């Protein structure tokens, strides 16, 4: 803790402990705790309480006061726990009786403070903070706090109940020998020294879990199940298996009962259990439970369970097979041919006849398939058949229902269901990883095209369709019929979609075109198709769309189209795309009221500049882009402009890499020419204006680029400085540089006067309309500026000192600012 | 019993970020998804792991509804939809959908600029999130699915703010978001149907305040600005791009016009053009006065307010500048503040909340020396004023809304616990309804008594009419008998005959039979006659028939007498009746068991 903070802390403690003061704003106390947490982690065994006795006084006075605000009490509980996390501070607190005083639950009940959820949660968090060593555990047990914690497990506040579960898990972890013996701060291995009967502590918790699972009260069962999941996923042996053994009978009852509200939490337990060595040991019945869960309860959970089983490494094949069948069943039911009717009908007739259930089953089945497809978990499943079913289902959803389908009633539920459409399209996209499916590409593209064409397709569905199309195009790139599909089928639909009334659709279409162009940019056939279609002219027209998002996406799409056309040089002469694009982009940069399109324009220029094929036509616009972008009121446009400047510098100055030691005269001339060209483009004005910008990131970037220049300048000191004189007047940066220049001049002059020199500073004031770049770079103490910029924290000051000053000044402010909010 | 559960994850007994979960009729809805601007880590967002642990938000939630564009109501939306992964529908009004991304973008821009920021969303994420939004029109019922419907009402507060009614079957909840019951300079007052929801979830920011009229606050603001300008000082008003800025612009514009003032007013950011564009676009959402004026002159085309260039800050003489961001922690507002802070003639007016750590927060707490970057100290000599213009309903307004909507229960959010407590008592006293104020993480459960609508056939009603009694009246419940048919998700009460006909079923008669033995030394025919006479004397108001085939009939009850040849005096009386005459049947069997009068 630095000196400033140590001197402020006592006053802060006094303010916080004063019951007449309203507590500071809700974030201040949390931030103060964050600071103590940092202090604790950096303390290296230092005893905080010894150096800061005000903290002990603070804790005592809060304990003694009956009028403490719940927020302050909660803070004190957490703070005490945090301090007691180190053994030395723990002893100090215990010796002074502070620990008992703070964590004695009864004390807070007397003044009704316990009724406040923030106090209960502070109490648990305090104990959690403290529980870093065995003595803390000892304290909790000795004070009989386990009972209170178990009660809080069923608290009416969700937050408190969850915290109580975490605390119980933490206690059990500390009881686990592996934890006891390992870990630096933790714990002495010989439990025998402790006066406590550890077995009784763990069995108290275990009994509570068993009791909860056997209870008829649903919330209590739920908390028990949640604790069990936490123990399984966080605790080690032997706690894990001993708890599992004890809970097996009631757990078995619960699982066999198949109560619907519990299936999800029970699944969480099983999910945690399969990650442990409990799986594979028949006496622990994990596989048995999984099998029961597959068949009982609501079928959606059955599918979830099946997904879990399919992903298991160690699992009997028969069970995996069964699980896969369960995942596929809903899909089979709605897309099967009539001859299988009887078999399927029996199982899912009822769920599929109810709309909500039917949709939720199919959604679960499809998302499970997508999840498994991503990781290629399908074993022994005919992938093309699954894919065909997904395609068929998507057809049903878009209203193309064929009469041979089984569940006509189910089909009516599915028509137009966005939920299933979105899920189905995700799944279809995911299935593109299987080569076996390539023969189905006609069907797949067919159904995707139907979705793109359909006027009823929801914007979110269209977005998913685009994603699926992109994935399939990616894997079908080598097929000769792909280009035919793109030009004859896809492009006409895209042209239509680019004129959709919904901006969401227009934007998604443009994003898709950009991605498609990037993916197929080296395919000359594609570029030809792109330019012979009417797509490009619509792209250009969308540069003046009413929606800013769309204009920005159009800029990016046009940018990519230009890049691809440049790569295929032959086409460029046929069209004046670049010319038209440049003209419109300049209008956007100078006139657009929204930041996105302007940002997109500058980014596009940067990507053109960085491209492997130079676009000579850019040169005439670069100076305008730099000037407009550098003077934009959106700091991100300015940042992108600086990135453009950086790219420009890289490109023009790379002929003379900075590290090269010796220069030939021709290279020197070239460097001078390059620099003077950069000057003509206005690049230095952008950098210097950026240096004095009101937004820190802009200053930082400008400073970094100017430093680069300075280094170059220093290394190649002999190039022609006169060619690089900048006009200081009329530029924003001019005033700053001038005043710094004058300051230096004055210092020099005064030195001169002292030595006996003459006057003349007044005269100099009017003489510095033009300053050489090299002088500017010298005047500006760029290294110092960069250091300062790195130090600055943007005025949302995060330092503990500022935080404490804020708390103190808020306390002095008598007038309460009425609660307000944006 | 069916119930409705409400769990605030935010705005439960606080004015932080709003995020409230409602479970109604098996549907789960999230109301608002706000961000806390005071943190720079995940604590700024609601903890969605309490909703579902596996990140399967899409499966759990049926929809998300956003009440208005303020970040404490919508700021966590891109995080939830693009980073946590919620793929379901999001509802908000048209203006909110248009303006929300501007504010999110505005905040993202000032956030990514900061150091130590973690896990924040990008521009692309904001756009992708907005693509999932389904826009709402006022008073238009939107079917989220077959069972769940929502309807938006005008809430005042800010452009596009809406209250929303959520309905599943006959159960309903109204969520107010932030609202204002008095019209202000550019917006109208909140209004809702007498929709009698099971729960009205209302904000309670000013739960104990009867606020001084907004006019007073406006006068105060204008006076302060005017005084400063008159004495040649400069006024800085740090604002966010949208919302309060427009309101204050209208205020100053009108004042300047009226007073014929010459000092320039500048707006420092290009965003205002976009913002004003939306106010023009959604003119129907503003108040009547603006709508009327719009015909002659566009209120949002300002004559006196001009675009700001950073060089103007150094101009001599008075001026008023609106600059972003509103908390004075970066950008132009801070740059201008640094220039003007040293002059006591100048003034800064903070019209909104500032998070801890910002220059805005510091000067509002009266700090006079600020350590700026580069460790230079800035002396704050200029006048610092805080003015709240936020448009929330005060205690009176909240009571007014309760009278409008007539809820069965009330639930307060978005307020401070102590103030809520006071209002809760007041509501319970005045309206005799329960009022709840759950803390964050606490669930309030309200048992509902849903009425299930049933159509009644005309025939059945006619038959009921024929029986006499008053005409059917919606306000006076009465019992009807009939057969309930559930078909194609509808319920109808029809006469049993009609039900049989419609469903193509045959009628089956269900009869109860019973044997009673008694000793009677007469022939079977005589015994039957004696029974007939006995019943005639006991059941005077009933029609009793002695049928020649050897039976006595009372209503549906058939009585026969048999005896065996071996014991001719031991008579077995057979009784049989239909279920409608269950009572009479058992009465007769008991009566006959007692024997016949001699």
The per-residue pLDDT for B302 is 79
pLDDT digits (tens, 9 = 90+) for A595-645: 899 999 999 999 998 887 777 778 888 999 999 999 888 888 999 999 999
pLDDT per position in chain B (598 positions), as tens? 789 999 999 999 888 899 999 999 989 999 999 998 888 788 889 999 888 766 678 888 999 999 999 999 999 999 999 999 898 999 999 999 998 998 898 888 777 766 656 678 889 999 999 999 999 999 999 999 989 999 999 998 888 999 999 999 889 999 999 999 988 777 889 999 999 999 999 999 888 776 666 677 788 889 999 999 999 999 999 987 677 787 788 889 889 988 999 999 998 765 556 666 777 788 888 887 777 776 666 666 778 888 888 788 888 999 999 988 888 887 788 889 999 999 999 999 988 778 888 889 889 888 998 887 656 788 999 999 888 777 788 888 999 999 999 999 999 999 888 889 999 999 999 999 999 999 999 999 999 987 778 888 888 888 877 877 777 776 777 788 889 998 777 889 998 888 998 889 998 888 899 999 988 888 899 999 999 999 999 998 888 999 988 899 998 899 999 988 888 889 999 999 988 888 899 999 999 998 888 7
Residue A387 lies in a domain: yes
pLDDT of residue A480: 84
What was the pLDDT predicted at A124?
96
**Burial tier of A751 (Cβ tally within 10 Å: 0-12, 13-18, 19+):** exposed
- CB distance B16 to B8 below 8 Å: no
Q: Are strands B162-168 and B27-31 parallel, antiparallel or unpaired?
A: unpaired
Full domain range(s) for residue A514: 480-581
Range with the poorest average pLDDT among A138-142, A792-796, B2-6 = A792-796
CB B457 within 8 A of CB A174: no
Confidence of residue A702 (pLDDT cuts 50, 70, 90): very high
Q: What is the CATH number of domain B3-210+391-444?
A: 3.60.15.10
Q: A349 and A315 in one domain? A: yes
Three-state SS sequence of B430-476: HHCCEEECCCCCECEEEECCCCCCCEECHHHHHHHHHCCCCCCCCCC
A57 touches chain B (CB under 8 A): no
Q: Residue A664 — pLDDT band, cuts 50, 70, 90? A: low
Minimal Cβ distance to A593: which of B16, B132, B273: B273
Residues A363, A325, single domain; the answer is yes
Q: Domain tally for chain A?
A: 2
A267 → chain B, closest CA residue:
B54
Are A821 and B123 in contact (CB < 8 Å)?
no
Q: Is A118 on the interface with B (CB under 8 A)?
A: yes
- Give the DSSP per-residue string, B488-551: TTEEEEE-HHHHHHHHT------EEEEEEEEE--S-HHHHHHHHHHHHHHH-TTS-EEEETTTE
- CB-closest option in A355, A422, A795 to B87: A422
Query: What pLDDT, on a 0 to 100 scale, did the predictor assign at position B273?
Result: 63
Are residues A461 and A388 part of one domain? yes
Q: Positive or negative, the Cα torsion across A672, A674, A676, A679?
A: negative
pLDDT higher at A448 or A797: A448
State which residue of chain B sits closest to A363, comparing Cα positions.
B59
A820 touches chain B (CB under 8 A): yes
Residues 537-596 of chain B whose Cβ lies under 8 A from any Cβ of chain A: none
State residue A401's pLDDT score: 67
Strand partners, B142: B150
Report yes or no: A711 and A662 within 8 Å, Cβ to Cβ: no
| Catalytic annotation, pick one of B82, B117, B171, B203 | B203
pLDDT of amino acid A658: 43
A residues 416..445 contacting B (CB < 8 A): 422
Q: Which residues of B480-504 are buried (b: 16+ CB within 10 A; e: fewer)?
A: eebbebeeeeeebbbbeebbeeeee
Query: Dihedral through CA A208, CA A213, CA A219, CA A225, nearest 10?
Result: 90
Q: Are residues A330 and A305 in the same domain?
A: yes
3-state secondary structure (DSSP) of residue A26: helix
Domain limits, chain B: 3-210+391-444, 214-386, 455-492, 511-594
Are A431 and A411 found together in one domain? yes
Q: How far apart are alpha carbons A410 and A353 in whole angstroms?
A: 6
Contact A593 B38 (CB under 8 A): no
Q: Is the pLDDT of residue A170 over 90?
A: yes
Residues A434 and A360 placed together within one structural domain of the fold: yes
Q: CATH no. for residue A552?
A: 1.25.10.10
pLDDT above 80 for A19: yes
In a domain, A314, yes or no: yes
Nearest to A819 among B116, B362, B416 (CB): B416
Domain boundary (A525, A554, A581) is at A581
DSSP symbol at A696: H
Nearest to A813 among B270, B335, B366 (CB): B366
| Average pLDDT for chain A | 83
Interface A-B, measured as beta-carbon pairs within 8 A, has a size of: 180
Helices A418-430/A383-397 angle, 10° precision: 150
Higher pLDDT, B120 or A443: A443
pLDDT of residue B116: 58
Name the residue facing B114 among A30, A160, A794 (closest C-beta).
Answer: A794
pLDDT band at A471 (very low <50, low <70, confident <90, very high): very high
| Statement: residue A462 has pLDDT above 80 | yes
pLDDT at A329: 83
Residues A427 and A455 in one domain: yes
pLDDT in tens, A177-206: 654 444 334 444 444 445 456 778 888 999
Does any CB of chain B come closer than 8 Å to the CB of residue A37? no
Q: Kindly give, in sequence order, each residue whose CB lies less than 8 Å from that of residue A476, ignoring residues fewer than 6 positions away.
A: A438, A441, A482
The confidence band for A814, taking pLDDT boundaries of 50, 70 and 90, is low
Phi, psi of B416 (to 5 degrees): -90, 145
Q: Which of A137-141, A316-320, B398-402, B439-443 is the least confident region?
A: A316-320
Residues from chain B that touch A796, judged by Cβ atoms under 8 A, are 40, 114, 329, 355, 357-358
Are A347 and A382 in the same domain?
Answer: yes
Pull the structure tokens for residue A639: 């940042």
> CA dist A475 to A429, A434, A468, A493, Å?
11, 9, 11, 21
What distance in Å separates the CA atoms of residue B464 and residue B458, rounded to the nearest whole number? 10
Neighbours of B99 (CB within 10 A): 27
Q: What is the pLDDT of residues A341-395, one digit of tens each?
A: 555 555 666 677 777 888 888 888 898 888 888 766 777 788 898 999 999 899 9
Q: Is B406 a catalytic residue?
A: no
Please determine, for residue A44, whether its predicted confidence score (pLDDT) is greater than 70: no
On whether any CB of chain A is under 8 Å from the CB of B274, the answer is yes
* Residue B262 Cα, gap to closest chain A Cα (Å): 26
Total-model pTM: 0.84
* Residue B546 to residue B529: CA distance in whole angstroms: 8
- Give the 3-state secondary structure of residue B93: strand
Residue B240 to residue A822, Cβ atoms within 8 A: yes
Q: Write down which residue in A551, A581, A611 finishes a domain.
A: A581
Rounded to the nearest 10 degrees, the angle between the axes of helix A619-630 and helix A595-610 is 140
Contact with chain A for residue B111, Cβ under 8 A: no
Domain B511-594 falls under CATH 3.30.310: yes
**Which CATH code is given to the segment(s) B214-386?**
3.40.50.10890
Those residues whose C-beta lies under 8 Å from the C-beta of residue B258, and which sit 6 or more positions away, are none
- Contact A252/B at CB under 8 A: no
How far, in Å, CA of A126 to CA of B44, rounded? Answer: 22
Instruction: Tell whether A533 is covered by a domain.
Output: yes
A356 and A391, same domain (yes or no): yes
Q: Are A702 and A642 in contact (CB under 8 A)?
A: yes
C-alpha B305/C-alpha A460 separation (Å) is 41
More confident of the two residues A750 and A73: A73
Residue of chain B minimizing CA distance to A29: B356
Specify the pLDDT at position A2: 80
> End-to-end CA distance of chain B, in Å?
57
Domain co-membership, A471 together with A484:
no
Rounded to whole angstroms, how far apart are CA atoms B242 and B245?
6
B60 touches chain A (CB under 8 A): no
- With an 8 Å Cβ cutoff, are A819 and B443 in contact? no
Measured CA to CA, the distance from residue A39 to residue A6 in angstroms comes to 12
Q: HEC string of A76-105?
A: HHHHHHHHCCCHHHHHHHHHCCHHHHHHCH
Percent of chain A predicted with pLDDT > 90: 35
What pLDDT was estimated at residue B244?
75
> Is A821 assigned to a binding site?
yes
On whether any CB of chain A is under 8 Å from the CB of B215, the answer is: no
d(CA A553, CA A549) in angstroms, rounded, equals 6
**Joined tokens for residue A205:** 């918790």
pLDDT at A334: 75
Residue A570: pLDDT over 60: no
- The 10s digit of each residue's pLDDT in A724-760 is 777 777 677 777 777 777 777 777 777 665 554 444 4
Looking at the structure, tell me whether residues A465 and A389 fall in a common domain: yes
Tens of pLDDT, residues A419-435: 999 999 999 999 998 88
Same domain, A485 and A470: no
Question: Chain B, 391-450: which have a CB under 8 Å from a chain A CB?
Answer: 416, 439-443
Strand partners, B184: none
Q: Look at residue B64 in the predicted model and tell me its pLDDT.
A: 98
pLDDT of residue A182: 41
Does the distance separating the beta carbons of B416 and A695 come in below 8 Å?
Answer: no
Q: Which of A560, A581, A602 is the last residue of a domain?
A: A581
Could you tell me if A160 lies within 8 Å of chain B, comparing CB atoms? yes
Please tell me the distance in Å from A770's CA to the nearest CA on chain B: 21
């Amino acid at each position: 803790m630095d000196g400033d903070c140590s001197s402020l802390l006592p006053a802060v403690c006094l303010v916080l402990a004063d019951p007449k003061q309203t507590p500071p704003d809700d974030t201040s106390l949390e931030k103060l705790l964050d600071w103590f947490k940092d202090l604790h982690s950096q303390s290296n065994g230092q005893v905080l309480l010894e150096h800061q006795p005000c903290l002990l006084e603070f804790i005592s006075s809060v304990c003694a006061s009956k009028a403490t605000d719940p927020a302050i009490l909660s803070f004190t509980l957490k703070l005490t726990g945090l301090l007691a996390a180190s053994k030395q501070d723990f002893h100090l607190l215990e010796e002074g009786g502070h620990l008992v005083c703070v964590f004695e639950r009864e004390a807070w009940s007397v003044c009704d403070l316990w009724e406040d959820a923030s106090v209960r949660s502070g109490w648990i968090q305090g104990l959690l903070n403290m529980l870093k060593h065995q003595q803390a555990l000892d304290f909790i047990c000795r004070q009989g706090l386990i009972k209170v914690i178990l009660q809080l497990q069923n608290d009416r506040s969700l937050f408190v109940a969850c915290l109580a579960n975490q605390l119980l898990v933490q206690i059990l972890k500390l009881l686990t020998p592996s934890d006891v013996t390992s870990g630096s701060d933790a714990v002495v291995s010989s439990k025998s020294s402790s006066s406590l009967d550890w077995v009784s502590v763990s069995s108290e918790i275990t009994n509570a879990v068993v009791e909860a699972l056997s209870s008829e009260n649903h919330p209590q069962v739920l908390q028990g199940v949640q604790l069990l999941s936490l123990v399984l996923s966080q605790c080690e042996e032997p706690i894990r298996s001993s708890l599992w053994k004890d809970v097996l009978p009631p757990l078995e009852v619960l699982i066999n009962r198949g109560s619907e509200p519990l299936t999800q939490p029970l699944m969480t337990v099983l999910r945690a259990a399969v990650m442990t060595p409990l799986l594979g040991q028949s006496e622990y019945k994990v596989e048995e439970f999984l099998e029961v869960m597959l068949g009982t309860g609501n079928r959606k959970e059955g599918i979830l369970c099946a997904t879990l089983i399919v992903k298991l490494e160690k699992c009997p094949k028969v069970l995996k097979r069964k699980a896969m069948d369960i995942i596929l069943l809903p899909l089979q039911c709605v897309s099967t041919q009539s001859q299988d009717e009887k078999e399927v009908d029996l199982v899912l007739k009822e769920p599929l006849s109810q709309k909500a259930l039917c949709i939720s089953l199919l959604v679960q089945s499809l998302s499970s398939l997508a999840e498994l497809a991503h990781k290629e978990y399908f074993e022994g499943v005919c992938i093309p058949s699954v894919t065909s079913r997904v395609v068929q289902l998507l057809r049903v959803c878009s209203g193309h229902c064929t009469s041979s389908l089984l569940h006509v009633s189910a089909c009516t539920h599915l028509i137009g269901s966005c939920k299933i459409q979105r899920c189905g399209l995700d799944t279809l996209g995911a299935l593109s990883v299987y080569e076996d499916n390539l023969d189905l590409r006609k069907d797949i593209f067919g159904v995707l095209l139907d979705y793109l064409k359909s006027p009823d397709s929801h914007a979110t569905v269209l977005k998913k369709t685009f994603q699926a199309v992109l994935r399939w195009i990616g894997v079908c790139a080598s097929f000769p019929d792909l280009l035919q599909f793109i030009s004859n089928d896809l492009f006409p639909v895209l042209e239509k979609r680019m004129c959709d009334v919904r901006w969401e659709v227009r934007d998604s279409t443009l994003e898709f075109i950009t991605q498609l162009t990037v993916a197929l940019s080296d395919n000359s056939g594609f570029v030809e198709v792109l330019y012979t279609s009417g797509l490009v002219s619509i792209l250009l027209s969308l540069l003046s769309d009413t929606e800013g998002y769309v204009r920005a996406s159009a800029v990016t799409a046009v940018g990519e189209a230009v890049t691809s056309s440049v790569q295929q040089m032959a086409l460029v002469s046929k069209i004046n795309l670049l010319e038209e694009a440049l003209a419109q982009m300049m209008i956007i940069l100078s006139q657009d009221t929204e930041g996105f399109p302007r940002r997109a324009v500058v980014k596009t220029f940067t990507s053109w500049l960085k491209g492997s094929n130079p676009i000579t036509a850019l040169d005439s616009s670069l100076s305008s882009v730099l000037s407009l972008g550098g003077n934009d009121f959106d700091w991100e446009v300015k940042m992108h402009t600086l990135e453009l400047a950086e790219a420009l510098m890289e490109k023009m100055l790379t002929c003379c890499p900075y590290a090269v030691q010796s220069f030939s005269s021709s290279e020197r001339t070239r460097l001078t020419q390059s620099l003077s060209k950069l000057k003509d483009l206005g690049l230095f004005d952008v950098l210097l204006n950026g240096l004095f910008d009101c937004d820190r990131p802009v200053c930082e970037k400008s400073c970094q680029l100017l430093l680069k220049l300075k280094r170059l300048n220093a290394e190649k000191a002999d190039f022609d400085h006169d060619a690089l004189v900048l006009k200081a007047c009329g530029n924003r940066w001019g005033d700053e540089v001038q005043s710094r220049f004058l300051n230096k001049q004055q210092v020099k002059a005064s030195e001169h006067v002292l030595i006996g020199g003459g006057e003349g500073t007044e005269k100099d004031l009017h003489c510095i309309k033009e300053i050489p770049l090299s002088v500017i770079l010298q005047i500006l103490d760029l290294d110092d500026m960069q250091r300062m910029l790195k130090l600055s924290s943007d005025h949302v000051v995060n330092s503990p000192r500022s935080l404490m000053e804020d708390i103190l000044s808020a306390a002095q402010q008598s007038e309460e600012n009425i609660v307000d909010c944006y | 019993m069916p119930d409705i559960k409400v769990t605030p994850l935010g705005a439960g007994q606080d004015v932080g970020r709003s995020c409230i979960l409602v479970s109604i009729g098996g549907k789960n809805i999230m109301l608002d998804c706000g961000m806390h601007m005071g943190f720079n880590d995940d604590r700024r967002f609601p903890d969605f792991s309490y909703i579902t642990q596996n990140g399967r938000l899409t499966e759990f939630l049926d929809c998300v509804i956003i009440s208005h564009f303020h970040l404490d109501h919508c700021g966590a939306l891109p995080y939830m939809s693009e980073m946590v992964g919620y793929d379901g529908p999001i509802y908000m009004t048209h203006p909110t959908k248009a303006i929300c991304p501007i504010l999110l973008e505005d905040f993202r821009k000032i956030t990514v600029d900061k150091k130590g920021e973690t896990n924040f969303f990008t521009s692309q994420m904001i756009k992708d999130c907005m693509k999932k939004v389904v826009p709402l029109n006022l008073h238009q019922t939107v079917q989220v699915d077959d069972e769940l419907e929502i309807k938006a009402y005008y809430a005042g507060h800010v452009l596009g703010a809406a209250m929303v009614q959520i309905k599943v079957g006959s159960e309903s909840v109204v969520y107010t978001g932030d609202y204002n019951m008095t019209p202000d300079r550019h917006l109208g007052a909140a209004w809702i149907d007498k929709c009698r929801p099971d729960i009205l979830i209302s904000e309670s920011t000013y739960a104990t305040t009867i606020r001084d009229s907004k006019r007073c606050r406006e006068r105060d603001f204008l006076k302060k600005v005017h005084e400063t300008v008159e004495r040649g000082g400069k006024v800085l008003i740090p604002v966010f791009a949208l919302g309060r800025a427009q309101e204050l612009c209208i205020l100053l514009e009108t004042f300047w016009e009226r007073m014929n003032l010459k000092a320039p007013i500048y707006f420092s950011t290009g965003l205002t053009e976009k913002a004003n564009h939306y106010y023009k676009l959604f003119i129907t959402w503003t108040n009547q006065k603006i709508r009327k004026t719009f015909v002659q002159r566009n209120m949002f085309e300002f004559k006196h307010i001009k675009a700001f260039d950073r060089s103007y800050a150094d101009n001599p003489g008075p001026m008023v500048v609106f600059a972003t961001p509103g908390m004075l922690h970066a950008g132009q507002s801070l740059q201008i503040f640094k220039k003007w802070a040293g002059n006591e003639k100048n003034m800064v007016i903070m019209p909104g909340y500032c998070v801890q750590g910002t220059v805005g927060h510091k000067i509002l707490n009266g700090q006079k020396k600020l350590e700026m970057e580069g460790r230079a100290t800035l002396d704050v000599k200029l006048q610092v004023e805080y003015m709240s213009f936020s448009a929330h309903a005060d205690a009176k307004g909240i009571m007014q809304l309760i009278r409008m909507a007539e809820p069965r229960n009330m639930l307060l959010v978005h307020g401070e616990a102590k103030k809520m407590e006071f209002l809760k008592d007041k509501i319970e006293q005045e309206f005799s309804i329960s009022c709840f104020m759950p803390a964050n993480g606490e669930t309030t459960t309200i048992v509902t008594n849903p009425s299930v609508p049933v159509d009644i056939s005309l025939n059945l009603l006619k038959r009921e009419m024929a029986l006499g009694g008053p005409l059917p009246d919606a306000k006076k419940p009465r019992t009807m008998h009939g057969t309930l048919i559930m078909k194609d998700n509808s319920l109808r009460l029809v006469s049993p005959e009609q039900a049989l006909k419609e469903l193509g079923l045959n009628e089956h008669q269900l009869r109860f039979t019973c044997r009673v033995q008694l000793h009677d030394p007469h022939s079977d025919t005589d015994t039957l006659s004696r029974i007939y006479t006995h019943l005639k004397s006991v059941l005077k108001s009933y029609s009793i028939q002695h049928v020649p085939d050897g039976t006595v009939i009372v209503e549906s009850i058939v009585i026969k007498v048999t005896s065996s040849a071996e014991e001719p005096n031991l008579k077995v009386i057979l009784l049989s009746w239909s279920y409608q005459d269950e009572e009479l049947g058992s009465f007769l069997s008991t009566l006959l068991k007692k024997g016949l009068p001699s």
